[in-house]
């Protein structure tokens, strides 16, 4: 029975690959796709070969996207109920692990006092997650942040500034506590 279940899940993932490709999403090779949400902007998304997006992952593409806005590198795993919100440039390198319930973005609302936040233009800043980064559960990565190759971000952290390669960082805001 377990084998039948695995075959059914594999077939469902392949059908999702075909469906998203048909809508314009770029998938290099094969991706493992559970039931994800990508309401629009499919042509602005690229998934590397072997990328895996688990149940409930949301790929949100902003209305101002021009060209490739979201890239998930090959052999990355994005865990359940994570949101990747890309307006211009959110890049996740190869071999990354992203825990459940994370939020990564490349844009934030302005907060000037003279007008309501909802009426202010977005501030777009490229966000880069380099290769082999591990991001724990419930982490928020704010716009304009770079996380260096091989870094580890502890669960529940809010990343507001760049993290160097091979660093172990955690907290709110995330700070480097040691090197790997």
pLDDT in tens, 88-124: 999 999 999 999 999 999 999 888 899 998 889 889 9
Q: How many domains does the chain have?
A: 1
Domain containing residue 123:
2-179
Q: What are 130's two structure tokens?
A: 């380099």
- Give the active site residue among 26, 44, 109, 177: 109
Between 66 and 177, residue with greater pLDDT: 177
Alpha-carbon torsion angle 129, 89, 37, 134, nearest 10: 0
pLDDT at 5: 82
Q: For this structure, is 109 an active site residue?
A: yes
Alpha-carbon torsion angle 126, 52, 59, 104, nearest 10: -40
Between 157 and 68, residue with greater pLDDT: 157
How many C-beta atoms lie closer than 10 Å to residue 128's C-beta?
19
CATH number at residue 55: 2.160.10.10
d(Cα 26, Cα 48) in Å, to the nearest integer? 8
pLDDT at 64: 67
- Mean pLDDT for the stretch of residues 7-23: 86
d(Cα 40, Cα 118) in Å, to the nearest integer? 21
User: What mean pLDDT, rounded, does the chain reach?
Assistant: 93
- Which pLDDT tens digit goes with each residue over 131-154? 999 999 999 999 999 999 999 999
How many C-beta atoms lie closer than 10 Å to residue 23's C-beta?
13
Q: Which of the 8 DSSP states describes residue 121?
A: P
């Amino acid at each position: 029975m377990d084998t039948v279940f695995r075959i059914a899940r594999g077939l469902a993932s392949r059908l999702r690959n075909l469906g998203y490709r048909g809508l314009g999403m770029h998938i290099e090779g094969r991706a493992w796709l559970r039931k994800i949400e990508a309401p629009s902007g499919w042509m602005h998304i690229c998934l590397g070969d072997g990328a895996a997006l688990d149940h409930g992952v949301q790929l949100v593409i902003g209305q101002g996207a021009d060209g490739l806005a979201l890239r998930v590198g090959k052999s990355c795993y994005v865990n359940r109920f994570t949101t990747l919100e890309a307006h211009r440039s959110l890049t996740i390198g190869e071999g990354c692990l992203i825990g459940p319930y994370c939020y990564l973005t490349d844009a934030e609302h302005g907060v000037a006092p003279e007008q309501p936040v909802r009426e202010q233009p977005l501030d777009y800043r490229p966000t880069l997650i380099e290769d082999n980064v591990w991001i724990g559960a419930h982490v928020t990565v704010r716009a304009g942040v770079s996380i260096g190759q091989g870094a580890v971000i502890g669960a529940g952290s809010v990343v507001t500034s760049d993290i160097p390669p091979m660093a172990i960082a955690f907290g709110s805001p995330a700070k480097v506590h040691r090197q790997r």
